[in-house]
Amino acid sequence: MMDKINILLAEEQKIVREGIKSLLKDEPGITVTAEAKNGRELMERLNESTVELAIIDQNLPALEGMETARQIKQSYQGTKVLILSMIDTDNYILKGFDSGADGYLLKNTGKDELMLAINKIMEGDSFICSGIACILMQKIKENGNHLFPQKPSVQLSDREMEILQLIGQGFTNSEIAEKIFTSRRTVESHRKKLIEKTNSRNTATLIRYAVMNGMLK
């Protein structure tokens, strides 16, 4: 994780914003430097200050969370996005990642998972909270590949397949590098190539592609 993380917290309800700030206030290196109660206000705050992570309510008024995430990724590519939501249906989750979000977290999760999400996202990974992961896995078991639209498969090298398996197990670039005795930069390069080869937007959609095409063991 970065030594210092400036967070913009976008949530309509002040009591919820105060609750999240309370969870984060004693975490070293993390500061909620800006707040917004709707999407348009959020974009204004981004113009006013440097933000490494935007935590966004999926149901923001004025400019809803997924559209806000899309605009952030278009205009502020260095800013990570974590969507908070009460909705755990697979179509909303997939729309969140398709909008460019780096993580999707249910509002009923606790501080430990919030911190895990922040750490993973700031390390360059995507994050899906455990509750959502269980829901998606159950959907896949029930519906197989019919849960997602099919895409043509691609040819991957043995090394790329090895790294894809480890990504699917949730390991970070540094952890993968240790396991296969190579550098983190090499792993980052392979991850980037995997995303490009599969025409994925980020790590989460890469994993979705791999599940769709039966590439994960």
Verify that 154 and 110 share a domain, yes or no. Answer: no
Residues 95 and 202 both lie in one domain:
no
Q: pLDDT band at 1, cuts 50/70/90?
A: low
Residues 92 and 11 in one domain: yes
- Domain containing residue 196: CATH number: 1.10.10.10
Say what the pTM is.
0.65
Catalogue the E-assigned strands of 17-131: 30-36, 53-57, 80-85, 103-106, 127-128
Per-residue pLDDT at 126 exceeds 70: yes
In a domain, 143, yes or no: no
Residue 217 domain-assigned (yes or no):
no
Q: How far is CA 156 from CA 21, 94, 193, 207, in A?
A: 43, 24, 10, 14
- 126 and 160 inside one domain: no
* 63 and 118 share one domain: yes
Q: What is the pLDDT of residues 14-62, one digit of tens each?
A: 999 999 999 998 898 999 999 999 888 999 999 888 899 999 998 887 6
- Between residues 161 and 129, the one the model is more confident about: 161
Give the model confidence (pLDDT) of 67-85 as tens digits.
Answer: 888 889 888 888 999 998 8
Last residue of a domain, one of 138, 168, 199: 138
**160 and 133 within one domain:** no
Are 124 and 189 part of one and the same domain?
Answer: no
Average pLDDT, stretch 185-201? Answer: 88
Residue 135 has pLDDT above 80, yes or no: no
User: Cα–Cα distance between 82 and 9 in angstroms, integer?
Assistant: 10
Same domain, 103 and 155: no
- The confidence score (pLDDT) of residue 55 equals 94
pLDDT class of 217 with cuts at 50, 70, 90? low
State the residue range of the domain holding 173.
148-212
Residues 22, 26, 31: CA angle, nearest 5 degrees = 80
Q: Is residue 48 domain-shared with residue 97, that is, in the same domain?
A: yes
Give yes or no: residues 174 and 204 share one domain.
yes
pLDDT of amino acid 61: 79
Domain count, the chain: 2
Q: Read off the CATH number of the domain in which 70 is found.
A: 3.40.50.2300
Write out pLDDT tens, residues 139-189: 665 665 544 444 546 788 889 989 998 988 888 888 999 999 999 899 999
Q: Which residues contact 187 (CB under 8 A, 6 or more apart)?
A: 163, 173, 174, 176, 177, 180
Statement to judge: residues 124 and 181 lie in one domain:
no
State whether 123 and 185 are in the same domain. Answer: no
